[in-house]
Each structure stands twice: as C-alpha cells, then as structure tokens.
Amino acid sequence: MRLEKVINRIEIQDEYKEFVEKYIDEILAEFGGQVHSLYMCGSVPKGTATPFKSDADFTLVCAKPEEIDYDKVSLIKDRLLAQYPFLTKIDTIVCSIDDVLHKPNEWGFWIKIICVCVHGPDLGEQVPPIVIAPAFILDLNTDTEAEVKRLHRLLAETDDPALKTRYIKGYAKRLIRALYSLVLEHTGVWEDDIVEMKNAIATYCEIDSAWVEELYACYLNPDVPVAEFLGLADQVYRYFEQALQTMAASRTASD
C-alpha cells in the first residue's frame, strides 16, 4: 500500500498570502543561491489556519545545511512574527538535498508526503513511492527515542511555566504521532489532524485507550503537574518501544 500526499493542492487563505510571500522573499534575499527549494506543511498551505491559533511550518532544502546561519533565520522569524502577530510561531527546518533523495523513508517521506513545495523545483517528485511496511515505520521512528528523551529532560529541568506548557504540548503530540505510525498499515494514510490520529489509535492499537485520551487531554490543556504528565508519557513510550521492538523482530525473522 502506498502513502498518498497529505496536501494535494495549495490553498493559502488571503490573510496568510502576504506573509508566505514575505517569508520566501526574505529567505531568498538572505541565503540566495544556497536555497534549492522551500516547502510548507500544516494548516497554512491547507487553507485551514486560524488566526492567533495556527503557526507556520517551513522546510528549507539546500545542498549544505551547515552553511545556513540559524541566527539569521531566527531574525527573519522574529521580524515576521512582529509584523504578522496572528501567527503563534514560525518554525523552519533545514535539510539537505542528499537527505531527501537518499533517505526516502525519513526526509524523503517528509518532503514527498507531508509538505508541499512553495518555491523551487519539487524534490518530492524524485522520491520513490512510499510503501507502508515495517521497514518504513521503523525508519520513520529512527529519531523518536532521542526526541522523547530530549523532551523529557527539558520538561524535568525547566521552572518556566510557559516552557512547561510548550514542552508538555509538544511531548504529547510527539507521542500521539509515534503511536499513529504503528497503525498506518490499517489506515493507509498519514493524518496530520491530531483528533483523527487519536481516533485511529483507539480503533487499531492495543494500547490502553484511557492513556491515549489522557495524552490528548494534556495536549489540549497542558496545565497539568509535570510529574503526572511524565508518568503518563513514560507508560505510553514503554508501550510504543515494545511495539517497535516486536515489529523489528518480526521483520528480521521474515527476512
């Protein structure tokens, strides 16, 4: 079974068009020929963004990511956030052409399936079809363990209430996305709607559904005690880790 693209047509709402054009112009003015192509994902290119609730997510693809000055990217972000305050935040991921073309189940998946091209030649067209199979799901979760540990550490160490809220929300979403990857062979599509993810997990995953509902509640309302959330997150991740190990063992046995 092949994964289909999440966004088939760009439908940026009128109130966001100027911002997107300005972002592209500023990135190109700053980095010029270093940029191969630019991509977006999420509600803005889908045309479902909500002012003062939605953020903007970009991916910059270039030959040498190490040559991109992240401080300059941050300055562009800060200027545009001040100019367009209806955006909650602006995220920019930078990856290499080589990663997209030679890691089809990781960066290739991201560019081909999740993102849409808003400037330059679309590298996703050069990525082979993404086949839903254990190998793909395992590759998709290559960095999940490291990211979970990072979020756990950040949350445990911070005393800043605003950062606690941000980390809990991000951690909860990361775990829901990880769990959803386990049921892709049942759904056949990559959902970017967290409610649809949650419902699919409840339908197809053997995890305790109460954990999933609690995790979703924490995503919606991150104002929960850190210790309580980390206890839930640890339970969920242990289940996920075991499921992934079982998948890997099954794959090895069938090879």
Same domain flag for 197 and 211: yes
Task: Give this prediction's pTM.
Answer: 0.82
Say if residues 218 and 172 touch (Cβ distance below 8 Å).
yes
Q: Is the pLDDT reported for residue 216 higher than 80?
A: yes
Count of structural domains within the chain: 2
CA distances to 7, 100, 117, 179 from 130, rounded to whole Å, are 15, 13, 18, 19
Taking residues 120-124, report their average pLDDT.
Answer: 96
pLDDT confidence of residue 1: 81
**Residue 180 placed within a domain:** yes
Q: What CATH number is associated with residue 82?
A: 3.30.460.10
pLDDT 10s digits, 50-68: 999 899 999 999 999 999 9
Supply the pLDDT for residue 218: 96
pLDDT given at position 120? 96
pLDDT above 60 for 255: no
Q: Beta strand 56-62 with 90-96: parallel, antiparallel or unpaired?
A: parallel
For residue 29, pLDDT over 70 is answered with yes
Question: Is 4 a member of any domain?
Answer: no
* One domain, residues 187 and 210: yes
Domain that includes residue 238, residue range:
135-254
pLDDT band at 38 (very low <50, low <70, confident <90, very high): very high
- Considering only 3-12, 46-55, 243-252, which range has the smallest mean pLDDT? 243-252
Residues above pLDDT 70, as percent of the chain: 98
Quick check: 41 and 7 in contact, CB under 8 A? Answer: yes
pLDDT on residue 252: 66
147/206 same-domain check = yes
Average pLDDT on 119-129 reads 96
In this structure, are 119 and 208 located in the same domain?
no
Q: Is the pLDDT of residue 196 over 80?
A: yes
Q: Which residues pair with 95 in a beta bridge?
A: 61
Query: Which positions ≥6 away from 171 have C-beta within 8 Å?
Result: 148, 151, 152, 155, 229, 233
53 or 18, which is more confident: 18
Domain boundary among the residues 115, 131, 147 is at 131
Task: Tell me which of 82, 102, 131 is where a domain ends.
Answer: 131
Distance CA 174, CA 185 (A): 19
How far apart CA 175 and CA 186 sit, in angstroms, is 18
**For residue 177, what pLDDT is reported?**
94
Q: Which of 175-179, 222-226, 249-253 has the lowest mean pLDDT?
A: 249-253
Residue with tokens 């590759």: 139
| Average pLDDT over all residues of the chain | 93
Structure tokens at 226: 């850190």
pLDDT tens figures, 137-173: 999 899 899 999 999 999 999 999 999 998 999 999 9
Q: In the prediction, which pLDDT does 250 show?
A: 79
The alpha carbon of residue 162 and the mean position of all alpha carbons in its chain are separated, in whole angstroms, by 21
Angstrom distance (rounded) from CA 55 to CA 43 = 8
Q: For the residues 170-177, what does the mean pLDDT come to?
A: 95
SS (H, E, C) the chain: CECCCCCCCCCCCHHHHHHHHHHHHHHHHHHHHHEEEEEEECHHHHCCCCCCCCCEEEEEEECCHHHCCHHHHHHHHHHHHHHCCCCCCEEEEEEEHHHHHHCCCCHHHHHHHHCEEEECCCHHHHCCCCECCHHHHHHHCCCHHHHHHHHHHHHHHCCCHHHHHHHHHHHHHHHHHHHHHCCHHHHCCCCCCHHHHHHHHHHHCCCCHHHHHHHHHHHHCCCCCHHHHHHHHHHHHHHHHHHHHHHHHHHHHHC
* pLDDT at residue 253, as a whole number: 60
| Average pLDDT of span 247-255 | 73
Average pLDDT over residues 16-41: 96
Do 117 and 147 lie in a common domain?
A: no
Residue 8 pLDDT: 87
**9 within a domain of the structure (yes/no):** no
